[in-house]
């Protein structure tokens, strides 16, 4: 099921960002940083956390969620670091939050938390077991099926 949600571009608390139960505060993200900003109405009535979200909006986001694709099937551990090269030096740009092999795409796909400073990059580097792999950074679903957003869904007639 993990691969299905990744192919569809869905984010899940606990995998792509921390929940209130997570002890790792470095994995906390605002709704704006994980693509859920459309669900937050800062102009509405007061709610818990509104002031913090307004401050985040004013000061800018620290992180951006990006999709990843790697041509090789790797067994990645959540939290694997992603890099880019600047002046021939590897610089950390973020971490892989989750990944799975997509049999349909024949690629390793996943989500990554990228520092906002590097969110416009199209590629990154992943190093595992001393080997560097090229990572394509993207946005949105890996599979963009027309029927994904149809409401109500069309029913196909079977003859």
What is the reported pLDDT for 76? 86
Question: Which one, of 70, 73, 74, lies nearest residue 135 by Cα?
Answer: 70
By C-alpha distance, which of 43, 41, 44, 33 is closest to 11?
33
The DSSP code for 151 is S
| Predicted local confidence at residue 158, as pLDDT | 67
Give the bridge partners for 149, in sequence order.
none
pTM value?
A: 0.81
Composition of the chain by helix, strand, coil, percent to 5: 20, 35, 50
For 150, the token pair is 């149809």
Q: What is the DSSP letter of 157?
A: P
Q: Residue ranges of the domains in the chain?
A: 2-138
pLDDT confidence of residue 31: 84
Number of other residues whose CB lies within 10 A of the CB of residue 70: 21
pLDDT tens for each residue of 9-49: 888 887 788 777 776 767 788 888 888 888 889 998 899 98
> Is 154 exposed, middle or buried, given 0-12, 13-18 or 19+ CB atoms closer than 10 A?
exposed
Residue 39: per-residue pLDDT: 87
Residue 16 pLDDT: 80
Rounded-to-integer distance, Cα 10 and Cα 46, Å: 28
pLDDT for 146 equals: 67
The ranges of the chain with pLDDT < 70 are 23, 25, 145-149, 153, 158-159
pLDDT at 57: 87
CATH topology of domain 2-138: Gyrase A; domain 2 (3.30.1360)
Q: 3-class SS at 121?
A: coil
């Amino acid at each position: 099921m993990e691969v299905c949600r990744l192919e569809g571009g869905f984010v899940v608390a606990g995998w792509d960002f921390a929940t209130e139960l997570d002890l790792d505060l470095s994995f906390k993200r605002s709704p704006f940083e994980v693509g859920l900003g459309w669900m937050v109405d800062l102009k509405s009535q007061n709610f818990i956390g509104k002031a913090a979200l307004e401050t985040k909006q004013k000061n800018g986001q620290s992180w951006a969620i990006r999709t990843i694709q790697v041509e090789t099937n790797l067994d990645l551990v959540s939290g694997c670091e992603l890099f880019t090269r600047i002046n021939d030096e590897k610089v950390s740009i973020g971490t892989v939050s989750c990944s799975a092999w997509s049999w349909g795409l024949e690629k390793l796909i996943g989500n990554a938390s990228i520092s906002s400073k590097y969110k416009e990059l199209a590629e990154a580097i992943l190093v595992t077991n001393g080997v560097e792999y090229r990572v394509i950074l993207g946005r949105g679903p890996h599979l963009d099926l027309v029927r994904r957003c149809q409401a109500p869904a069309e029913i196909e007639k079977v003859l």
